[in-house]
Structure 1
Amino acid sequence: MLAETLEGVQFSPSKRATYLRLVLAALAAVIAFKTFWFARWGGWTDRELADFDAFHIVAQRVWRGDVDQVYHFGALLKMQMEAAGGTTGFMPWTYPPQYGLLLAPFALLPVGVAYLLFTTATLALYLAVLRTISGANFALALVILFPALVITIGSGQNGFLTGALIALVCLNLERRPLLAGLALGAMVIKPHLAIVVGVYLLATRRWVALATAAVVVLASSLLCTLLFGWQIWAAWLGAIRESASYLEQGSYPLYRMISTYAALSKAGLPASIAFWGQVTVAGLALLAVLVGTARGTSSRFALGITVMLSVMISPYAYDYDLPMLGIGLALILPDLAGLASPRERSWMYGLILLAGAYGLLQSARLAAQVDPSRHFTPAIGGFALMALLLLLLKLLWSRGQPAPARPQTAQQRL
């Protein structure tokens, strides 16, 4: 079975070391290649823009004092065409102003160097916290997550940063709730991925962490208001409204999304039905959080399930958000053998691999300048995550308390 094959990685120290070296070497090679690509060295002088290019454009507008213009899609399209030196695919901008402020220092560097610094720093942070959480399961987690990690590197996206922030919430929640709250508050850069964790903190009465997160959000919002003016919030809300119509019209690359909405929409269902399908899945995800806290599972397992469900709430979730799901997987792995059969674990690992590998395939097609949108390209990642949600609900509902896990080392404890 797939589970036995993958889990065999962790039983031999020499095998673990070999897999770790191979995965890390492959990730380093992809970063080096993409650094040349973003820097437009060699044969990539004329290329389409990618996600980090959009980050760099926004960072430049912060220094020019007109960052509110990136929330007006017509103005943003002109900026992106200027950066590309011609026509390019449009990337709407709906991040809160706090993320633009975070990106501002990268405008002081050429785009290739900025990409290298951003990606290596966030990846290093992500791998550090993933190793702390997963312990002896680190190699196993890396193998399962490998396609998702490559996707995130390839686009220069922030999946490593958001995954690391949620991991810091989990690592500090028990003993350092103030630090956990700071990390949760920093998720204001991508708030829809923090909803489920916020519900978990409410259900478990983590008032210090919640209060600290609220202070971070309010303080950072005040800072953005002072720097950018009140108009920044009206511009941001306008962009969100406009992006909703983009999503309904299918103007986003839905085949790269991992949401229920994208899966149902690409399957040919009307936008209204896809929307209610997303609402249903979000409701089931929140139900799973409550079940996990009420059924007597370990706090680590319940928190891991919560993190895995965090990428299933919003209709706007992409394959580069999957590193966060990996943090949840690392949390539940110690209890998983006592809760799930080898067949169930095989399905779980396979669904995560499928979501990442499918996104990697579509990224490769785009890199080869084959536009998947011209053909029928289903959003397989969304279906994979729906199946994963049902599997997690089954485990929570039917198993209850997991079998006692082996004693953990200090590195494995939260």
Structure 2
Amino acid sequence: MLLLSLAAVMLSKALRYAGLLPAQELTDFDAFHIAGRMVWRGDIAQAYHLPALLEAQQALTGDQAFLPWTYPPPFNLVVAALAPLPIGLAYLVFAGATLAAYLLVLRRIAGPLFATVIVALAPALFVAVAGGQNGFLTGTLIGLASLGLLGERTLAGLPLGLMVIKPHLAVGLAVGALVLRRWRCLALVAATAALALALSTAVLGPAIWPAFLGGVDEAKAFLAAGAYPLFRMVSVYAWLRSLDLPAALALAAQGATAVAVLGLIPLALWKGIPRRQVVGLAVLASLFVSPYAYDYDLPLYGVALALLLPDLLRQARRGETLVLLGLGWIVGGYGLAATPLHGGLDGTALTFPVGISLAAPPFLLLLALIWRILRREQAATTTVTAAVGTGVGPAGPVPA
């Protein structure tokens, strides 16, 4: 029923794009389609400068919205492939294909727990479908890389290298590959990323890089000013900044959180936690790295949950299982529930009624609970192993 509902939302959005249902404000997929059309027009470098982008939005759609373009140049090649299609069809192709790929990868990882993962991830799935964002694409790439790391395959570096389109979401898994000493995999990551960067430079021209770096600087200024919809973000930075704490303090807290969470990956390996759990924690850790982390990036949480859920269900108490589900729904659904309460931008104005971002605290609690349950599972395994090694079980000596 959830998957059918996702399909209905997707069809509804496509019909809106086609003009068969009432129109809507510009959303993330509009930004993708606009940027793709700018690639074909030869002025994609202008997309990284907001005033020029607003002019292009007005010329191409007759509307404007605060949707700064900050994606690395290789992603421009992805959106350029969609631009020749009418926007409704382009949305169906992109959202439908990436959702299908994501569900297939998730099914491969989760096995018989696939339906459970889908229920736990439901709010995030609806967010990603409604916005037409690239969360299913990045989730598919990270899922394929995770499967490759579990199978000790060098080709895991290919999808991980393609995460150059959104590199901050690959940091945790890159650290995981490093601590697992997958040197050939990391070499392929570097080669794939370098090839993607070279291809985008050849197609778009060297001038794309100064434009991209300028766009990143603009985005930093917008983030510090609170211009983005912080209530849609899941980062510690967004939480603290939405409480009117200084940007520098919020950024320092974000950095400390990122270092601490990434530190769980080598700590897990050092404590002898199974490789599947190490990879799952590495995927989850990526969502705590960047201050610019949105609820539509949470398909990565689905990959992490699919990897960790067998062990979590084996060791979690019933109440803890319900808390895991509830916290996941709060993290994924808060932005969705809060969106109707907040207005959009007025023309080209850069002020935004951000509201309070409340996803980060339950997300941190979710991570802490997962770590606690996994450590309990590891302690139980260690106890059993020690008992077998000494020939003594819970009820006495182990028979010969």
Structure-2-length-normalised TM-score: 0.89
Shift of 1:396: 5.1
Q: Percent identity?
A: 43
**Closer, same or farther in 2 for the Cα pair 1:61/1:369, shift >3 Å?**
closer
Shift of 1:374: 7.1
Shift of 1:265: 0.9
Where does residue 277 of structure 2 map in the other structure?
Answer: 301
Shift of 1:375: 6.1
**Which of residues 306, 310, 334 is equivalent to 1:358?**
334
Shift of 1:42: 3.0
Where does residue 118 of structure 1 map in the other structure?
Answer: 94
Where does residue 392 of structure 2 map in the other structure?
Answer: none
Looking at structure 2, the residues matched to 263 and 274 of structure 1 have their Cα atoms a distance apart, in angstroms, of 8
Looking at structure 1, the residues matched to 29 and 200 of structure 2 have their Cα atoms a distance apart, in angstroms, of 22
**Which of residues 55, 60, 79 is equivalent to 1:83?**
60
Looking at structure 2, the residues matched to 397 and 276 of structure 1 have their Cα atoms a distance apart, in angstroms, of 28
**Closer, same or farther in 2 for the Cα pair 1:173/1:376, shift >3 Å?**
closer
1:41 aligns with 2:17: no
Shift of 1:139: 0.9
Higher mean C-alpha deviation, range 256-265 or range 269-278: 269-278
Shift of 1:41: 2.5
Where does residue 412 of structure 1 map in the other structure?
Answer: none
Structure 2: 5+ residue stretches without partners: 383-400
CA contact under 8 A between 2:138 and 2:300: conserved in structure 1? yes
**Closer, same or farther in 2 for the Cα pair 1:82/1:370, shift >3 Å?**
closer
Looking at structure 2, the residues matched to 95 and 331 of structure 1 have their Cα atoms a distance apart, in angstroms, of 28
1:321 aligns with 2:297: yes
**Which of residues 244, 249, 261 is equivalent to 2:225?**
249
**Closer, same or farther in 2 for the Cα pair 1:391/1:291, shift >3 Å?**
same
Where does residue 25 of structure 1 map in the other structure?
Answer: 4
CA contact under 8 A between 2:315 and 2:377: conserved in structure 1? yes
1:387 aligns with 2:365: yes
Looking at structure 2, the residues matched to 376 and 320 of structure 1 have their Cα atoms a distance apart, in angstroms, of 17
Q: Which of 1 and 2 has greater Rg?
A: 2
- Structure 1 residue identity aligned to 2:365: A
The alignment of Structure 1 onto Structure 2 pairs a total of residues equal to: 378
SS of residue matched to 2:359: helix
Looking at structure 1, the residues matched to 190 and 354 of structure 2 have their Cα atoms a distance apart, in angstroms, of 43
Alignment of 1:6-405 (within 5 A): 22-44=1-23, 47-86=24-63, 88-175=64-151, 177-365=153-341, 377-395=355-373, 400-401=378-379, 403=381
- Structure 2 residue identity aligned to 1:358: Y
Shift of 1:313: 0.8
CA deviations over 1:346-395 (Å, ceiling 9, x no partner): 322211110112122134556x9899x97673211122212223333434
Looking at structure 1, the residues matched to 231 and 84 of structure 2 have their Cα atoms a distance apart, in angstroms, of 34
Higher mean C-alpha deviation, range 132-141 or range 392-401: 392-401
Looking at structure 2, the residues matched to 362 and 112 of structure 1 have their Cα atoms a distance apart, in angstroms, of 26
Looking at structure 1, the residues matched to 358 and 17 of structure 2 have their Cα atoms a distance apart, in angstroms, of 28
CA contact under 8 A between 1:72 and 1:239: conserved in structure 2? yes
Higher mean C-alpha deviation, range 378-387 or range 210-219: 378-387
Higher mean C-alpha deviation, range 220-229 or range 194-203: 220-229
- Structure 1 residue identity aligned to 2:203: L
**Closer, same or farther in 2 for the Cα pair 1:61/1:314, shift >3 Å?**
same
**Closer, same or farther in 2 for the Cα pair 1:401/1:202, shift >3 Å?**
farther
CA contact under 8 A between 2:298 and 2:332: conserved in structure 1? yes
**Closer, same or farther in 2 for the Cα pair 1:63/1:355, shift >3 Å?**
same
Looking at structure 1, the residues matched to 152 and 180 of structure 2 have their Cα atoms a distance apart, in angstroms, of 15
CA contact under 8 A between 1:310 and 1:325: conserved in structure 2? no
SS of residue matched to 1:296: coil
- Structure 2 residue identity aligned to 1:344: E
Shift of 1:397: 5.3
Looking at structure 1, the residues matched to 35 and 353 of structure 2 have their Cα atoms a distance apart, in angstroms, of 32
Shift of 1:188: 0.5
**Closer, same or farther in 2 for the Cα pair 1:401/1:184, shift >3 Å?**
farther
Where does residue 18 of structure 1 map in the other structure?
Answer: none
SS of residue matched to 2:47: helix
Shift of 1:177: 2.4
- Structure 1 residue identity aligned to 2:138: T
